[in-house]
Homo-oligomer: A and B are copies of this chain.
Amino acid sequence: MTAPAHGQEVVPKFRGPATTAPLGVELSERETPVHPDTRRRAPAAHVTLDAVAREAGVSLATASRALNGTTRVRDDLRGRVRAAADLLGYIPNAHAQALASAEGNRTVGLICHDVGDPYFAGIASGVMRAAAEQDLLVMLASTFREPAREIAYVSMLRAQRARAILLIGSGFQDRAWERGMDTELEPYVRAGGRVAVVSRHRSMRVDTVQPENRAGAAALAASLVELGHRDFAVLSGPPELTTVADRLAGFREGLAAAGITLRRVVRGAFTREGGHAAARQLLATGGARPTCVFAVTDVMAVGALAALREAGVRVPEDMSLAGFDDIPVVREVSPPLTTVALPLTEMGEQVIALALRTPSGAGRSRVLRIEGNVVLRGSTGAPPGS
């Protein structure tokens, strides 16, 4: 038995089929004895502060103060309240707290395309870390790139009275979406809600963490030109996303600075498969092949790399390939991908910090520009025959 060829998968015959379809079959129930320690006093539905106060023999108000410690409470009373709360297993009702106090709740909303995408996962990870430090809970909403869903989620997060709403990778060039967002966000901000965005927004009302997509792509183009390339193609994504438009425009600018015109742009979905398909399409067309290909995201670049490999195109000997973002996977592929590195985790930390900062005053918003670093790796080299 030899190793399967690259890309080929072998499922050994002695294993059953994937269990992914009739999962219900595997469902089983089991008896669970009650842990003796846990029995204590059985709360009917939810233990209320009122019950705690009664148990401790104090008033409702005292119980509240004893547990939150805003005002002074005599030590013995505080002790009694704490003990009663422990005994009864009291858990405050966050809704009631949020409603009664001016403080509001300790949650922030995070809207992104899909946590399964490494770009968002990276940013989200940074947001989570910062949130954890401040004891904030993050309400996550995945839009799957539907502008309408995004607006609906903003509305839901408004209803939840989130302290801040974070939008990652938002930014459609879509009139209806812009209007919708404006009407959602404007009253929210006015009512003290904070909003911060990763990506360029035409609406200038909110704080923004803005990767320098344009400059980064231009710098990448310059680097690639310096390697000797003259003949480029771009694997692009949906043009209604500002990220895509900016990177494409920046790349064109970078080339133009060297007097080079971009030969081909192939559009694909914003996914690995999109990059794969776009690369295949590029190869399928006749004519001289470009010596260097720029995929507007690393996710697409990874797909493109696979397509090139499958087509027998050697990277970088036959063709150079570069991406954008520097998601972790690009260091693992062979050859590792040249890309424009963005500090994803930090962008996540920054966007929540920006949102939570004191409001910037009426009509003002802050822009935090994040510069990308061109990182040359093994996927780019001199053009063939040079």
Residues of A within 8 A of B (CB): 1-12, 14-16, 18-20, 23, 26-35, 37-38, 42-43, 45-47, 89, 91-99, 105, 107, 110, 114-116, 118, 121-122, 124-125, 128-129, 132, 137-142, 144, 149, 155-161, 179, 182-183, 186-187, 190-192, 203-205, 219, 222-223, 226-228, 272, 302, 305-306, 316, 328-329, 332-336, 341, 343, 345-346, 350, 360, 363-371, 373-378, 380-382
**Complex Cα distance A302/B367, Å?**
37
Whole-angstrom distance between the alpha carbons of A258 and B374 in the complex? Answer: 51
Cβ of A4: which chain B residues have Cβ within 8 Å of it? 376-378
Q: A99-B93, A187-B43, A333-B333 are in contact. Are A365 and B30 (CB under 8 A)?
A: yes
Q: Name the CB-closest residue of B to A377.
A: B9
Q: Is the CB of B373 within 8 A of A182?
A: no
Q: Which residues of B contact A12 (CB under 8 A)?
A: 219, 222-223, 226, 374, 376
Q: A251: shortest Cβ distance to chain B, in Å?
A: 15
- The answer to whether residues A118 and B115 also contact, given A12-B226, A30-B364 and a CB cut-off of 8 A, is no
B141-A139 in contact (CB<8A): no
Pair B371/A336 contact, Cβ less than 8 Å: no
Residue of chain B at shortest CB distance from A376: B10
Closest Cβ of chain B to A223, distance in Å, is 5
**How many protomers of this protein does the assembly include?**
2
**B9 touching A375, Cβ below 8 Å:** yes
Residues A116 and B125 in contact in the complex (CB < 8 Å), given A141-B138, A183-B38, A376-B4: yes
- A interface, by DSSP: helix, strand, loop or mixed? mixed
Nearest residue in B to A141 (C-beta to C-beta)? B137
- Give CA–CA (A308, B324) in the complex, Å: 27
Nearest-Cβ distance from residue A287 to partner chain B, whole angstroms: 25
**Cα distance, A192 to B46, chains bound together (Å):** 10
Q: In the complex, which of the residues B20, B105, B132, B366 contacts A343, with contact meaning CB atoms closer than 8 Å? A: B20
The residue in chain B whose Cβ has the minimal distance to the Cβ of A33 is: B363
How close is A173's CB to chain B, nearest CB, in angstroms? 17
A373 CB contact (under 8 Å) in B15, B31, B205, B328? B15
- Give 12 CB contacts A-B under 8 Å: A2-B382, A30-B364, A32-B205, A38-B187, A45-B192, A89-B187, A93-B159, A94-B160, A95-B98, A115-B115, A128-B142, A332-B332
Task: Tell me the minimal C-beta distance from A47 to chain B in angstroms.
Answer: 8
Specify the chain B residue showing the minimal Cβ separation from A208. B30
Given contacts A34-B186, A93-B161, A94-B159, 6 further A-B contacts (CB under 8 A): A12-B222, A34-B363, A35-B203, A42-B190, A94-B161, A95-B95
Alpha-carbon distance A142/B349, docked complex (angstroms): 14
Min CB–CB distance A27 → chain B (angstroms): 5
A138 contacts B140, CB within 8 Å? yes
In the complex, the answer to whether A156 meets B141 with C-beta atoms within 8 Å is no
Q: What residues on B are CB-neighbors of A38 within 8 Å?
A: 182-183, 186-187
Kindly list chain B residues whose C-beta atoms are within 8 Å of the C-beta of A124. 115-116
The 7 closest A-B pairs by CB, nearest first: A3-B381, A116-B125, A19-B371, A334-B334, A128-B142, A26-B369, A10-B376
Q: Which residues of B contact A219 (CB under 8 A)?
A: 12, 14-15
Q: How far is the CB of A186 from chain B (nearest CB, A)?
A: 4
Q: When chains A and B are docked, how far (Å) is the Cα of A110 from the Cα of B142? A: 14
Asked whether, in the complex, the Cβ of B183 is within 8 Å of the Cβ of A1, the reply is no
Known A-B contacts A183-B37, A316-B3; A366 and B333 likewise in contact (beta carbons under 8 Å): no
CB-CB under 8 A from A5, the residues of chain B are 378
A18 to B342, CA, bound (A): 9
Of A10, A91, A105, the most chain B CB neighbours within 10 A belong to A91
Contacting A149 at CB < 8 Å: which of B132, B190, B350?
B132
